[in-house]
Structure 1
């Protein structure tokens, strides 16, 4: 599939991008919007995977993971994050739980970035009853994981409130208590990355969502709010950022409603270049129709 310009995938509606660079390729994992035209609610049953060596020509890898691959899940294939550690690939997901009210975080594992992923725990990693009492059934959304320079991994997530915790060395348990991060107008869509000793925590800001971000010298904060990174994505109320470096450049993945009949429930993943200032802060991302080329 060759899709120059934005959106970068056009034969399906895609959302909530997460990207992984491995062996000189970029692997893009997305949600899959299937709401019929005229239906203004989320219909999301599985996740999609694409790979590329140039960010223009994409190969699809079907059938890697769906919400019902978690036997304890009741559906709802929300935003995810895929990360590699010790040559294994971990897919952290947000789904609806069958027996614990609300959303939950699960984790699947594979020995290949395009292999079939399987539930590695047989239960949820994080459920709503593990958090302070809340009336928000979607509190456990949008996991984002970072493996730090010392090999320790941390997971960030949330809806209305950002949470984080350390993961165990095997990536499938919590290695600390659950903490909160206070961020202005945090809605959802957390994304954590690190560059040159700085931690960056980007997220959906307000509703409809812009993307804002904060910076810190420590994974534990304090976090300094840095302002808006990306404006409202046209006719789509949500956004979910993903920032990666690939072949010497930095890229910002996001979604909008840019395809025909698109909108908040039929979204499409896009990518544009991201640039840093001399003080390590990020420049505001300009969304383009042209996208990127290598």
Structure 2
């Protein structure tokens, strides 16, 4: 038996994982914390991509996407979500908008999982002025996208309030009104996935953030709150879950402050096993320094 070790990426600071499986490899996409040691502020300019066939050895794919590749963005490479659809890879990202105050969500596209990605819209998909008036400049954070069994896409996102909407068939626009979900303790970091007929919505709960989750038989709810999935992750105030099935097992990706000089603004992506109970609920994650066993 071999342990992957946590954090799984150890040569730079990474955060806010999203992942997909393609051709027997896991492609892991992360934020990149660049705050100097001793500086307590988010400094995030680009995203990184890594892939692995065994969750032990990770290959880095350089220069896939940065915040200013979106010409309408001023920076701020926040959390993201990536999906594959019709042989294209759609990468939904949160950034700061240049001309519309606050955070916004854009989408980049590529023919390959390791890029290079380009702005699919030459404009934002979701901006603050599309929502009810709010003084929360970070309302449009942390997108998560799912393609349902009938081919319909949905996007979930938010800070303090969780929003969701149906996507157009081309995944490049909204085709429904934006709805709000009432989730206990919702802070940010939404992640949507489906397994065995259940929809699971995991998210950052409270501050500092644990990860909680809700379940539903319908993408439109009602959502049943199921409690805590992951406890506080080390010396880090935030968390962002990602759940992936790979080679017959389920894995939970998250971040902590586990590297030397790490912390809330110098985070590191980790992975541990995830298990389901017979009734479909998920067992609490056991965070380990050993990581997954392969």
CA deviations on 1:100-121 (whole Å, 9 max, x unpaired) are: 0000000000000012000010
Match of 1:230 in 2: 230
- Deviation per residue, 1:42-79 (Å, 9 max, x gap): 00000000000000100000100000000000100000
Q: State the secondary structure of the residue aligned to 2:254.
A: strand
1:123 and 1:216 mapped to 2: Cα distance?
33
**Which residue is 1:147 aligned to?**
147
The correspondence of residues 167-178 of structure 1 with structure 2, limited to 5 A, is 167-178=167-178
Q: Distance in 1 between the 2:196 and 2:4 partners?
A: 31
Whether the 8 Å CA contact 1:30–1:48 is kept in 2: the answer is: yes
CA distance in 2, matches of 1:38, 1:3: 31
Tell me the secondary structure at the aligned position of residue 68 of structure 1: helix
SS of the aligned residue for 2:51 comes to strand
CA distance in 2, matches of 1:74, 1:115: 22
Aligned counterpart, 2:112: 112
Partner of 1:78: 78
Q: CA deviation at 1:3?
A: 8.7
Which structure shows the bigger proportion of residues in strand conformation?
2
Indicate the residue corresponding to 1:273 in structure 2.
273
Cα deviation for residue 234 of structure 1 reads 1.2
Residue 140 of structure 1 and its aligned partner are, at CA, apart by 0.1
Provide the aligned length of Structure 1 versus Structure 2: 293
Asked whether 1:187 is paired with 2:187, we answer yes
Q: Secondary structure at the match of 2:31?
A: strand
Gaps (5+ residues) in structure 1? Answer: none
Give the alignment of 1:1-294 within 5 angstroms: 4-294=4-294
Structure 1 residue 293: Cα displacement = 2.8
Alpha-carbon distance in structure 1 between the residues aligned to 2:122 and 2:115: 19
Following the alignment from structure 2 to structure 1, what is the Cα–Cα distance between the partners of residues 222 and 3? 41
TM normalised by structure 2 equals 0.99
In angstroms, what is the RMSD of aligned CA positions? 0.9
Which secondary structure does the structure 2 equivalent of 1:170 belong to?
Answer: coil
Looking at structure 2, the residues matched to 92 and 293 of structure 1 have their Cα atoms a distance apart, in angstroms, of: 31
- SS of equivalent residue, structure 2 residue 129: helix
**TM-score, normalised by the number of residues in structure 1:** 0.99
User: Does the CA-based 8 Å contact 1:3-1:9 persist in structure 2?
Assistant: no
8 Å Cα contact 1:71-1:122 kept in structure 2: yes
Q: Deviations over 1:240-280 (max 9, x none)?
A: 00001000000000000000000000000000000000100
* Cα drift, residue 40 of structure 1: 0.1
Give the conservation status (yes or no) of the 8 Å contact 1:3–1:10: no
CA offsets, 1:190-213, max 9 Å, x none?
Answer: 000000000000000000000000
SS at match of 1:78: coil
